[in-house]
Structure 1
Amino acid sequence: MAQKLNLDNLAVSADVYRSSFPSTFTFGVATSAYLIEGGWNEGKKGPNIWDKFTHLQGKVLDGSNGDVAVDHYHRYKEDIELIGALGFTAYRFSISWSRIFPDGLGTEVNEEGIAFYNNIINSLLEKDEYYYQPFVTLYHWDLPPHLQESIGGWTNRKIVDYFGLYAEACFANFGDRVKHWITLNEPLQTSVNGHCIGIFAPGRNEKPLIEPYLVSHHQVLAHATAVSVYRSKYKVYSPYSFSFFSGTFGLLEDAPRESQGGQIGLSVDCEWAEANSEKMEDKVAAGRRIDFQLGWFLDPLFFGDYPASMRQKLGDNLPTFTPEEKEFMLQNSWDFLGINHYTSRIIAHVSNNEAESDFYKAQELERNVEWEDGEPIGDRAASDWLYIVPWGIRKTLNYVSQKYNHPSIFITENGMDDEDDGSASIHDMLDDKRRVAYFKSYLANVAEAIK
């Protein structure tokens, strides 16, 4: 019989107020370029891999795409007014690499793309009655397809060079006003869903035992490279700046500039893994599940290598870092950490699982949504993967804080979707008590984690 959690011990009051949080706690909203901008071929923007992916027949269930999305490209001022009306003080958005460098190569900056993001940033900062902190994500999955087609995208070590050039262009053009930079959003999804299962752009699943780990390897190095460029050339000015492009140190040309004084980090996603029982093998499996989510990207940046559990299960399929790369990563880890958390799972050890992909098979575990007596871990939202488990966010935050030496943390994504079957009235859909309850209960657990 599974050792079900004592939910009474985890219960917290769902009553939550602004005063439940420190005065420095920031409340904001988040978007990503492909999901909202539209204007996919306007302003001299080049295509990205999601443009290519969604335009292929059969890749998206209903055939929809992001060509228009919510038309943020033309209506960003209205959207920013809505953020202000809701009372938030931060706005996280991503920059589309293809708007800055249409071919991805970094040879010529697209000035119309620079102007578009300058307009967004200036609109956030120019209002007297409110002030928004821009949180800018450099990469939210939308790689320029020229890099995918010419070098293999994230599977090629050269991508680290190109990402460094792209990041520097953003720091140089926007860093005087942007004080919070996120290098990568959910690199796990790029690696697994993009290069193992193949349901995300670029839709690759030809080498599921190799590519996802190679892609992650290069993403970790790309993050460290962007951090190095920012810290050495922009955060605090120094006349001597060093790069780590192509695995070699080199002196960069530099010119006097004002110190930007911002912060830089990355956002990783993690569902909480709760052991199915008190059995040691289930507890170890739950820890292994978190290693394959968080540790995959954070351990190299904090400890200099991948988790031992991943090395044990993956062997030579997991790339190795050189001593120079390890030192470079440790020197350029992060100023803050972004956590994207939505849901949790019950984890049980199995030796021969029948998982849907090689990535999950390698973990030797089952991810369940019910305890052994049939009781669900929580109510399901609209998406089949999203179960409402408020205590999971508290456990996740406590785990990250304890393991990684109490980093500054921003919850960069959280929320739920609701089903629209066409039968509910517009009033009922807008009076979404279930979503309100979701946010209240999750926020109450965040407040408890802080305490």
Structure 2
Amino acid sequence: MMPEQDTLAHKFPAKFVWGVATSAYQIEGAANEGGRAPSIWDTFSHTPGKILDQSNGDVACDHYHRYVEDVEHIANLGLDAYRFSVSWSRVQPDGCGEWNEEGMAFYARLIEALTQKNIRAHMTLYHWDLPQALQEQGGWLNRDTAVHFARYAQEMAARFGDQLASIATHNEPWCTANLGYGNGQFAPGVVDPVAALQVSHHLLLSHGLAIQAMRKQNKSAKLGIVLNQWTADPATDSEEDRAAAAWEYARSVQWFMDPIFRGHYPELALAKIDRSRFIVAPEDMQTIQQPIDFLGINYYFRAYVSTETPPRLPEAKLGITDMGWEIYPEGLSRLLIGIHQEYKDLGLPPIYITENGMAVADQLEGEQIHDSRRIDYMQRHFQEVAKAIEAGVDIRGFFYWSLLDNFEWNSGYLRRFGLIYVDYVSQRRIWKDSAIWFKGFVQQFQHWRSSTKGTSTSREPT
């Protein structure tokens, strides 16, 4: 039995930040407006056979034109913060060279609209949509892309850094590397696992270069990175399964954490790669190991590792999401506590849960969407975050994924993660039951916060 809404709300620190998240290509639309140039996702989604429903992000949620309405929804939810990403090719069409002032003006308007509603803006610089012009020069396999990215980061920080709560360099570089270059599931659609390793290094290098470049701007925004992470659980207690689970954790979580906090890649993962095609310059690891102000963690599922053929599958006691992912809330607290224990003495900064959410096959019934499973999912994951905080993990906020139903990458419009239902034909926004529940939860939290003696009620994250 889950705790009552108000009891659960009281388990979080008074300055805890509640927000929602989106990304540019998934919601903005206006693909050919305002000086925007194509990204790799424009190219990929327009390639036959790449998207399950043969759709694309040309219009998506039309957020480019409807951002005022969408900000109003965030405000009406009573949330502290909004995490969004910038379309690199909207502000710098070629990924290098001239800036597109019309694109910059869009993000200036968005940030101003958020500020007017007392909603803190959290910007992500890269959520998988590389300018196509840079892809034609080799994309993330080209080391020069890391340099271009740092210049882009410097410009965005210079322009907006004092208006933002935070700037994240990358969202889920694991996906960029492994799904974009390893198995070709995502843009740019390359199938070369060895190339994926080099891409992961260039992504981390670009992160380090970007942090350096943004620090020099001396702006108030906190700087960090967002990583998707999971526990890796052996299916059995066999030596083979335990070894495979340890390797899975090393090649996924530690592969990105260790360079940032230890200055090297995990030896367990390095032992299994072809180093002849994995090029690391002598100074690279020092560049990557930049102090950061926050770490964003995205959590959706655990890795359940079986060496048997066919592999054993998890029992999935709480069922699976519409993405086919096991619902495993306790993996979140275990992950957070494990990360804290492993990296707390290595410069681990405060943590934000920057994404967590559930795809449901939502059905519109009149003007309502009854998504009780999503509400249960949210309650259970909030409880696990509270458990990690009680265990001593410094967690400062939670961003639900996502504000809106949207273009869900290679699933097109077939999967719905949003708190708000989007009718893609009319572009109507309709609150789901989960949105109503979340608003009530945040109200309970804010009421408790304001009634706690001696506690600041500011929305300013620490």
Q: 2:224 aligns with which of 265, 272, 288?
A: 265
Match of 1:200, SS? coil
Q: 1:412 aligns with which of 323, 345, 354?
A: 354
* Contact 1:369/1:377, CA 8 A, preserved across alignment: no
* Contact 2:182/2:190, CA 8 A, preserved across alignment: yes
* CA distance in structure 2 between the aligned counterparts of 1:181 and 1:28, rounded to whole angstroms: 15
Change (3 A) 1:84 1:369: farther
* CA distance in structure 2 between the aligned counterparts of 1:378 and 1:17, rounded to whole angstroms: 20
Matched residue, 1:228: 212
Matched residue, 1:34: 25
Q: 2:203 aligns with which of 219, 223, 243?
A: 219
* CA distance in structure 2 between the aligned counterparts of 1:315 and 1:110, rounded to whole angstroms: 41
Change (3 A) 1:84 1:42: same
1:200 is displaced (CA, Å) by: 0.6
Change (3 A) 1:124 1:397: same
Q: 1:369 aligns with which of 298, 303, 313?
A: 313
* CA distance in structure 1 between the aligned counterparts of 2:326 and 2:193, rounded to whole angstroms: 29
One-letter code aligned to 2:163 = R
Q: 2:107 aligns with which of 88, 93, 117?
A: 117
Identity in percent? 41
Change (3 A) 1:317 1:388: farther
Matches within 5 A, 1:343-382: 343-349=301-307, 368-370=312-314, 375-376=315-316, 378-382=318-322
One-letter code aligned to 1:140 = H
One-letter code aligned to 1:190 = T
Aligned pair 1:449/2:436, yes or no? no
Note the aligned Cα RMSD (angstroms): 1.9
* Contact 1:305/1:321, CA 8 A, preserved across alignment: no
Matched residue, 1:403: 342
Change (3 A) 1:126 1:401: same
* CA distance in structure 1 between the aligned counterparts of 2:94 and 2:358, rounded to whole angstroms: 35
* CA distance in structure 2 between the aligned counterparts of 1:443 and 1:174, rounded to whole angstroms: 31
Change (3 A) 1:202 1:216: same
Point out where structure 1 has 5 or more consecutive residues left out of the alignment.
1-10, 236-259, 355-365
Matches within 5 A, 1:31-430: 31-105=22-96, 107-127=97-117, 131-149=118-136, 151-205=137-191, 208-231=192-215, 233-235=216-218, 260-316=219-275, 319-330=278-289, 332-349=290-307, 368-370=312-314, 375-376=315-316, 378-384=318-324, 386-405=325-344, 406-420=348-362, 425-426=365-366, 430=369
Q: Deviations over 1:73-124 (max 9, x none)?
A: 001010000001111100000001001111111x211100110000000111
* Contact 2:183/2:193, CA 8 A, preserved across alignment: no
1:12 is displaced (CA, Å) by: 7.1
Counting matched residue pairs gives 386
* CA distance in structure 2 between the aligned counterparts of 1:286 and 1:210, rounded to whole angstroms: 21
Match of 2:193, SS? coil
1:317 is displaced (CA, Å) by: 5.5
* CA distance in structure 1 between the aligned counterparts of 2:2 and 2:246, rounded to whole angstroms: 25
* Contact 1:311/1:318, CA 8 A, preserved across alignment: no
Q: Deviations over 1:232-264 (max 9, x none)?
A: x113xxxxxxxxxxxxxxxxxxxxxxxx22211
Q: Deviations over 1:191-230 (max 9, x none)?
A: 111111111111111xx23210010010000000010011
Match of 2:59, SS? coil
* CA distance in structure 1 between the aligned counterparts of 2:389 and 2:313, rounded to whole angstroms: 27
One-letter code aligned to 2:306 = A
* CA distance in structure 2 between the aligned counterparts of 1:302 and 1:339, rounded to whole angstroms: 15
Match of 2:379, SS? helix
Q: TM-score w.r.t. structure 2 length?
A: 0.80
* CA distance in structure 2 between the aligned counterparts of 1:278 and 1:62, rounded to whole angstroms: 41
